[in-house]
């Protein structure tokens, strides 16, 4: 590491951290203004709101904008160096462009490596705080959640395994009880071979299984049917109480090992609609790599001295960042709402912008 390397690396890290802090502060201010009424209704003190919400919100928002903040930081300080003819002096002094890239790549690998670790293990823990506050104080108080949507979501249908389906009517997540009916059916091909119905089902915390009351069990073998009335019985479902009600923050709350186990368990169960979870898993590897790709793009664009100065390069950087976000959202939507492969959806922005980065690198002034 030469003096030049330390100079660029310090500029890289300090500018990125400064921009990330500025954008985080702006996000906190905007979020506070939007949720001021909700915070008042919670009855919590300022300290409690900070510890129960913003401790989780800040890592959450940083995880969304961090690669873009690195990109804008590179554009900003490299454009300043180019406008002061520092880039020209470096190249004229015999330092090759590839050599000048070394501190940029070191900085990108340091930031990308930290972001990779945080995405797998640290940010999910912060998302637990953020998601729980949102679900408890914000989502539950909205008119949409309290209206017809809330009534509909008290009925749940679950898949026990590839051949067994169950439903709970009027399920209460607090008492872990469905009072207006439960059914379970086992299929063999297109034929029902087993049917179980009960007036009430509740979670037995002592035995760690489900207790049925006033159950009727039917076993079907072709034209033969055996009916048994059972006042009370216990059954084991491949579902825990916390897995019945969909949690829209669940994929963000789980660390990567937990998410891997969850996806495998749901695949064994035969659950459909797992693309959202798979994309989230693959993005935890893909997004940190985008830090390196966007750094290369930023250096290649901003190292050229232009008449428009750093403002023009910064505008180009913001437009490029916007295109990256749009492409990322499009690929995510196509995967979760369509049949686009989750792995390809997570890596598509990196693939396309990786090609752009190579092209810009070859066009950069040497």
Output the CA torsion sign for 99, 101, 104, 109: negative
Output the CA torsion sign for 294, 300, 302, 308: negative
Q: 293 near 353, Cβ under 8 Å? A: yes
Tens digit of pLDDT for each residue in 175-189? 888 888 899 999 888
Mean pLDDT across 313-322:
75
Options 1.10.10, 2.30.30, 3.10.450, 3.30.499; CATH of 156-245: 2.30.30
Instruction: Specify the higher pLDDT residue, 171 or 22.
Output: 22
* pLDDT at residue 329 greater than cutoff 90: no
Give CA–CA dist 217/234, Å, rounded: 13
Q: 313 near 75, Cβ under 8 Å? A: yes
* pLDDT at residue 30 greater than cutoff 60: yes
Angle in degrees, 0-180, between the axes of helices 55-83 and 3-42, rounded to the nearest 10: 150
Q: Would residue 347 be called left, alpha or beta, if left means φ above 0 and alpha means ψ between -120 and 50 degrees?
A: alpha
* pLDDT at residue 122 greater than cutoff 90: yes
Q: Model-level pTM?
A: 0.81
Q: Which residues are bridge partners to 182 per DSSP?
A: 168, 198
Tens digit of pLDDT for each residue in 132-178? 899 888 876 665 454 444 555 568 888 888 888 898 888 887 788 88
Instruction: Specify the higher pLDDT residue, 58 or 161.
Output: 58
* pLDDT at residue 309 greater than cutoff 90: no
Give CA–CA dist 90/82, Å, rounded: 10
Tens digit of pLDDT for each residue in 286-301? 999 999 999 999 898 8
Q: 302 near 104, Cβ under 8 Å? A: no
Question: Which ranges in 195-341 belong to alpha helices (H)?
Answer: 250-253, 256-269, 275-302, 309-337
Confidence band for 366, pLDDT divided at 50, 70 and 90: low
Residue 244 pLDDT: 78
Residue 116 pLDDT: 97
Contact residues for 80 (Cβ-Cβ < 8 A; gap 6+): 310
* pLDDT at residue 271 greater than cutoff 80: no
Task: Report the mean per-residue pLDDT for the chain.
Answer: 86
Lowest-confidence segment of 101-110, 111-120, 200-209, 323-332 by average pLDDT: 323-332
Q: 218 near 226, Cβ under 8 Å? A: yes
* pLDDT at residue 256 greater than cutoff 60: yes
The percent of residues above 90 in pLDDT, for the chain, comes to: 46
* Residue 13 CB neighbours (<10 A): 17
Q: Which residues are bridge partners to 257 per DSSP?
A: none
Strands 164-168 and 156-159: antiparallel
Q: Which residues are bridge partners to 305 per DSSP?
A: none
Q: Measure the N-to-C terminal CA separation of the chain; round to a whole number of Å.
A: 21
Residue 133 pLDDT: 92
Tens digit of pLDDT for each residue in 202-252? 999 888 899 999 999 999 988 888 999 999 999 988 788 877 777 788 889
Mean pLDDT across 324-341:
80
Q: Residues of 245-273 as b/e, b for ≥16 C-beta within 10 angstroms? A: eeeebbbbbbbeeebeebbeebeebebee
Instruction: Write the DSSP assignment of 42-73 as a string of letters.
Output: HT--HHHHIIIIIHHHHHHHHHHHHHHHHHHH
Lowest-confidence segment of 57-71, 194-208, 236-250, 273-287 by average pLDDT: 236-250
User: Which secondary-structure segment (H or E) carries 16?
Assistant: helix 3-42
Residue 148 pLDDT: 45
Question: Which ranges in 118-169 belong to alpha helices (H)?
Answer: 123-133, 143-146, 148-152
> What are the structural domain ranges in the chain?
3-141+272-363, 156-245
Residue 60 pLDDT: 93
Contact residues for 54 (Cβ-Cβ < 8 A; gap 6+): 28
Contact residues for 271 (Cβ-Cβ < 8 A; gap 6+): 159
How distant, in Å, are the alpha carbons of 24, 50, 84, 297 from that of 126? 15, 13, 41, 31
Query: Which two tokens mark 92?
Result: 């004229």
């Amino acid at each position: 590491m030469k003096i030049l390397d330390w100079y660029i690396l310090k500029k890289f890290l300090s500018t990125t951290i400064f921009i990330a802090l500025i954008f985080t502060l702006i996000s906190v201010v905007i979020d506070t203004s939007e949720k001021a009424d909700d915070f008042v209704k919670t009855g919590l003190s300022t300290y409690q709101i900070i510890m129960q919400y913003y401790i989780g919100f800040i890592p959450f928002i940083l995880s969304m904008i961090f690669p873009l903040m690195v990109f804008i930081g590179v554009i900003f300080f490299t454009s300043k160096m180019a406008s002061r003819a520092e880039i020209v002096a470096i190249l004229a002094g015999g330092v090759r462009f590839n050599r000048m890239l070394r501190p940029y790549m070191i900085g990108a690998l340091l930031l990308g490596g930290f972001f990779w670790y945080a995405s797998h293990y640290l940010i999910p823990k912060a998302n637990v705080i953020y998601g729980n506050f949102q679900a408890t104080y914000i989502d539950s108080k909205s008119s949409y959640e309290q209206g017809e949507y809330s009534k509909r979501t008290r009925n749940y249908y679950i898949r026990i395994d590839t051949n067994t389906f169950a439903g709970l009517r009027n399920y209460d997540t607090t008492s872990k009880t469905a009072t207006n009916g439960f059914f379970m059916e086992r299929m063999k091909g297109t034929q029902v071979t087993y049917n179980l119905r009960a007036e009430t089902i509740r979670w037995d915390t002592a035995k760690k299984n489900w207790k049925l009351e006033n159950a009727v069990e039917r076993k079907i073998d072709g034209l033969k049917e055996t009916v048994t009335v059972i006042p009370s019985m216990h059954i084991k479902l491949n579902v825990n109480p916390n897995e019945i009600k969909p949690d829209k923050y669940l994929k963000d709350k789980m660390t990567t090992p937990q998410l891997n186990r969850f996806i495998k368990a749901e695949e064994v169960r035969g659950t459909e609609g797992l693309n959202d979870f798979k994309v989230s898993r693959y993005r935890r590897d893909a997004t940190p790599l985008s830090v390196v790709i966007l750094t290369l793009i930023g250096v290649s664009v901003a190292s050229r001295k232009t008449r428009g100065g750093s403002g023009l390069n910064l505008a180009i950087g913001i437009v490029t960042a916007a295109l990256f976000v749009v492409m990322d959202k499009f690929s995510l939507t196509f995967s979760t709402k369509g049949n686009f492969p989750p792995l390809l959806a997570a890596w598509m922005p990196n693939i396309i912008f990786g090609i752009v980065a190579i092209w810009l690198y070859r066009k950069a002034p040497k």
